[in-house]
Chains A and B, each alone.
Chain A
Amino acid sequence: MDLGETAVKARAFSYFRAATIDHALDAHARAGDDARFIAGGQSLVPALSLRLQAPRLMIDITHIDELRGVRREGGHLRIGALTRHCEMLSEPLIAEFAPLLHAAAPFVAHPAIRNRGTFGGSVALADPASEFPAMTLALDAEIEIAGPSGRRRVRADDFFIDLFETALQPGELITAIYVPLFRADQRFAFDELARRRGDYALVGCGILATFAGERIHDIRISYLSVGNTPTRVRGAEATLVGSRLDAVRIAAAQAALEGDLAPPESDEVPPAMRLHLARVLLGRLLGRLGEAA
């Protein structure tokens, strides 16, 4: 076909299908880091078509077996980076041991995107409006990274740095995400507010709480679409630890959000509106957690 100047198409690149992680890392280095790893490509391909990115080498990692699969490893669920969004809905191990991801999955884009997009890719991109990056924070997940200098694991709390900026260095890729196994003394909740179903959320939130009887022993609350990164609200969390989930505590947690969140200026959703929606959502979710006893 004619890829003329008028076409909105990716700039020319070479394509390499890697069979192993080492081959993928080596290819990246040989291209002088002017390369991109591609898996689901559901965000990368539009970025290439719009020429927001134009690498000389595309390294396809979708055929690397080591990046696949969901399995228990000690106290964690190891979720391979290539696990597709649709598998978050269909994989029994996810439903049992990482139910917050299972609950968030239906809100991720549309069915056809979920058939192709990958968990590792979503976390690597770190879109602040995406559900899964924010949920790795709520879950206290660890991100396993492979790169030229070897393997390392980074806590989600230390992974998201700024807008589309993460702890990933050039030439590194995510191999798996480790999620602590869901326990009987824990409860979870997820929801989001969007103008239309399937749209990007105006605000979204996921919660994982550990209870000691009726009192909250530990709670992690993470928001999407409230700033440059997925965002934990530590002030609100602190108001709830050691408490029962009654109306007074829920109101206190909602009030604490004003200190936790500083939504950006936006013509569509002014900061005050986003903060209001964050409060509404927190009230609903904590109410649900209280009823889930």
Chain B
Amino acid sequence: MSGIDDSLLNEADETVRVRLIVNGRKVACEVAPRETLVDCLRDSLELTGTHAGCEMGACGACLVQLDGRAVHSCLIFAVQADGATVDTIEGLSERGAIADLQAEFHRRNALQCGFCTPGMLVNAHELLSQVTQPSREEIRDALSGNYCRCTGYEAIVDAIDAVAKARGTSGGVT
């Protein structure tokens, strides 16, 4: 890679090609440099499961996995992710990685309007991949960056707690 080409400076907002592996599939998008990853996912790739809420990293509705770690897709420009692997709620859902979490959220009414749910699930998925038996306090701490304005959180914590215990009992990780 070389230094900057001066002509680049006069090309603000000209689209650039970004290559990603999204949910296991190679994709290429034309994006303006100022376009965030969440906008690219929703508008260019029509993966609307990732929700754009506050668009400033406070609400957690836009969480996706970037190279295996949960990040806010509103706080990264799509060009920055060029070459990266992105897993959205659609991918995690389709390959069954969070089937038990989804079932438990459903069973315990851990959602009402559902706007926050994709972010909650991505976050819970990461938590349980790092800490197999989190305490309720640890679950609450991990969720501190995810807003839910419907449920009061108790059912969400219950659901994650139940899945952690179930996975521990079955001896495996899904």
Please measure, in the bound complex, the distance between the C-alpha atom of A41 and the C-alpha atom of B11, giving whole angstroms.
Answer: 22
Known A-B contacts A3-B32, A8-B55, A14-B8; the reply to A46 vs B75 at CB < 8 A is yes
Chain A minimum-CB-distance residue to B73: A112
**Assuming A111-B145, A115-B70, is B34 touching A13 (CB within 8 A)?**
yes
A1-23 vs B, CB cutoff 8 Å, 1 = contact: the mask equals 10100001111111111110011
**One of A52-60, A166-174, A210-218, A283-291 at the interface:** A52-60
B101 to chain A minimum Cβ distance, whole angstroms, is 16
Docked pose: A122 CA to B161 CA in angstroms: 33
Asked whether any CB of chain B lies closer than 8 Å to the CB of A183, the reply is no
User: Can you report 22 residue pairs joining A to B where beta carbons are below 8 Å apart?
Assistant: A3-B32, A10-B77, A14-B33, A15-B33, A15-B77, A18-B4, A19-B1, A23-B3, A23-B4, A38-B80, A41-B75, A41-B76, A45-B56, A49-B56, A110-B60, A110-B145, A112-B71, A112-B72, A115-B70, A197-B141, A197-B144, A198-B141
Count contacts on A: residues with CB < 8 A to the other chain: 45
CA gap between A16 and B144 in the complex, in Å:
34
Are A112 and B70 neighbours in the complex by a CB distance under 8 Å? yes
Q: Roughly how many angstroms separate A10 CA and B13 CA in the complex, as a whole number?
A: 11
Residues in A with CB closer than 8 Å to B80 are 38, 41, 60, 62
Q: Is A193 an interface residue (CB 8 A)?
A: no
Please indicate the chain B residues that have their CB under 8 angstroms from the CB of A8 in the complex.
Answer: 55
Q: Taking the complex as formed, is B173 at the interface, i.e. its CB lies under 8 A from any CB of chain A?
A: no
Cβ of A239 within 8 Å of any chain B Cβ, yes or no, is no
Per the bound structure, the CA–CA distance linking A30 and B3 in Å amounts to: 11
Q: Which of B36-44, B85-93, B110-118, B162-170 contacts A (4 or more CB under 8 A)?
A: B36-44
Q: Is the CB of B56 within 8 A of A50?
A: yes
Cα distance A41–B3 in the bound complex, in angstroms: 22
Whole-angstrom CA separation of A46 from B72 in the bound complex: 11
Q: Tell me, yes or no, whether B50 is within 8 Å of chain A by CB.
A: no
Chain A residues contacting B14 (CB-CB under 8 Å) are: 14
One digit per residue, 1 when the CB lies within 8 angstroms of any chain A CB and 0 when it does not, for chain B 50-67 equals: 000001110010010010
| Residue A27 is within 8 A (CB to CB) of chain B in the complex | yes
* Nearest A residue (CB) for B68: A115
Chain A residues in 8 Å Cβ range of B35: 1, 3
Given A14-B12, A15-B16, A198-B141: A26 in contact with B71 (beta carbons within 8 A): no
Contact in complex: A12, B70 (CB < 8 Å): no
Contact B34 A113 (CB under 8 A): no
For chain B, the count of residues having a C-beta within 8 Å of the partner chain is 47
Who on chain A is nearest to B144 by CB? A198
Q: Does B127 contact A (CB under 8 A)?
A: yes
Q: Is the CB of A27 within 8 A of B4?
A: yes
Kindly name the residue among B33, B57, B72 whose own CB sees the greatest number of chain A CB atoms within 10 A: B57
In this assembly, does A116 line the interface, its C-beta being within 8 Å of a C-beta of chain B? yes
Q: Verify A198–B145 contact, CB threshold 8 A.
A: yes
Establish whether residues B39 and A12, one from each chain, have CB atoms under 8 Å apart when the complex forms.
no
| Closest residue of A by beta carbon distance from B42 | A1
Q: Which residue of B lies closest to A9 (CB)?
A: B34
In chain A, positions 240-261 with a C-beta closer than 8 Å to chain B are none
Q: Which residues of chain B from 1 to 38 have any CB-CB distance to chain A below 8 Å in the complex?
A: 1-4, 6, 8-14, 16, 32-36
Q: Tell which of A16, A109, A110, A116 has the most Cβ of chain B within 10 Å.
A: A110
Bound form: Cα–Cα A14–B9 in Å: 6
Q: Does A42 contact B (CB under 8 A)?
A: yes
Tell me the smallest distance from the CB of A192 to a CB of chain B, in Å.
14
**Within the complex, what minimum Cβ distance (angstroms) separates B75 from chain A?**
5
Residues of B within 8 A of A38 (CB): 77, 80
> Could you say which residues of chain A place their CB within 8 Å of the CB of B128?
none
B69 at the interface (CB under 8 A from A): yes
CB distance from A36 to the nearest CB of B (A): 12
Query: Which of B3, B16, B66, B126 meets A111, CB within 8 Å?
Result: B126
Complex CA distance for A31 and B11, rounded to whole angstroms: 12
Q: Name the distance in Å between A139's Cβ and chain B's nearest Cβ.
A: 25
A86 within 8 A of B: yes
In angstroms, how far is the closest chain B Cβ from the Cβ of A221?
26
